[in-house]
């Protein structure tokens, strides 16, 4: 189990590892988000395996990738897209299995984990919960200052999940419940929502940075 006090110097940003789960294509992104909402892409990858492979081997691919990325980048938070059952049940089941592997990888390292719905992610990044993939990708490019769109689409989706989590509730990992915590247009609810004496070192540093950014 990794040491959660991974940083020895003052921190002014939250590092989020986000996962767009799937067995064939699983997007994994690491993004640093400052208290003034500025985001910087650290790394992104899409892993997966053919549908002809045994399910155990397919899950092992994702498990190994998660272990590698969590150990390498040591994020403060983990954010994973929450899926709902629709018509394509086999796909949903596979997505849920991939999500479980990612959640377990984070739990082994005591990384706070949040689940965000696609609508929450779209609303946070584009302002509309019904935005399409092209709109999400376009906003991800603008937010990160990228000249080219991340490829494939799962990469952009994973990045959007990371940004949405930090912007809409990354301090506690509760999604929309803490949506205004990092908004510079509203007073911070961080200190009143939770006594500062109960915060982790990373959370205290984040709060201090948020105050300086106002």
86 and 92 in contact (C-beta within 8 Å)? yes
Catalytic residue among 32, 76, 120, 154: 154
Has 40 been annotated as catalytic? no
Catalytic residue among 32, 76, 81, 210: 81
Radius of gyration over every alpha carbon of the chain, rounded to an integer in angstroms: 17
Cis? peptide before 152, omega within 30° of 0:
yes
Q: d(Cα 117, Cα 115) in Å, to the nearest integer? A: 7
Q: d(Cα 73, Cα 89) in Å, to the nearest integer? A: 33
Residue 149 burial (10 A CB sphere; 0-12, 13-18, 19+): middle
Lookup: tokens for 75: 């994020």
Q: Would you tell me the crossing angle of helices 133-144 and 153-169 to the nearest 10 degrees? A: 70
Has 20 been annotated as catalytic? yes
Has 196 been annotated as catalytic? no
Catalytic sites, residue numbers = 20, 81, 154
């Amino acid at each position: 189990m990794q040491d959660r006090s991974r940083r020895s110097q003052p921190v002014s940003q939250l590092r989020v590892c986000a996962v767009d789960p799937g067995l064939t294509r699983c997007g994994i992104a690491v993004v640093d988000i400052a208290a003034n909402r500025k985001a910087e892409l650290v790394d992104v990858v899409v892993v997966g395996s053919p549908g002809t492979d045994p399910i155990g081997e397919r899950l092992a691919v994702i498990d190994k990738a998660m272990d590698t990325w969590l150990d390498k980048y040591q994020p403060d938070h983990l954010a994973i897209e929450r899926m709902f059952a629709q018509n394509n049940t086999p796909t949903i089941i596979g997505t849920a299995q991939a999500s479980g592997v990612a959640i377990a990888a984070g739990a082994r390292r005591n990384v706070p984990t949040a689940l965000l719905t696609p609508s929450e992610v779209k609303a946070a990044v584009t302002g509309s919960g019904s935005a399409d993939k092209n709109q999400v990708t376009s906003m991800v490019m603008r937010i990160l200052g990228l000249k080219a769109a991340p490829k494939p689409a799962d990469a952009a989706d994973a990045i959007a999940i990371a940004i949405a989590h930090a912007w809409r509730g990354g301090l506690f990992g509760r999604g929309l419940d803490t949506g205004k915590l990092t908004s510079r247009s509203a007073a911070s609810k961080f200190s009143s929502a939770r006594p500062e004496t109960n915060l982790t070192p990373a959370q205290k540093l984040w709060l201090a940075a948020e105050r300086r950014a106002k």
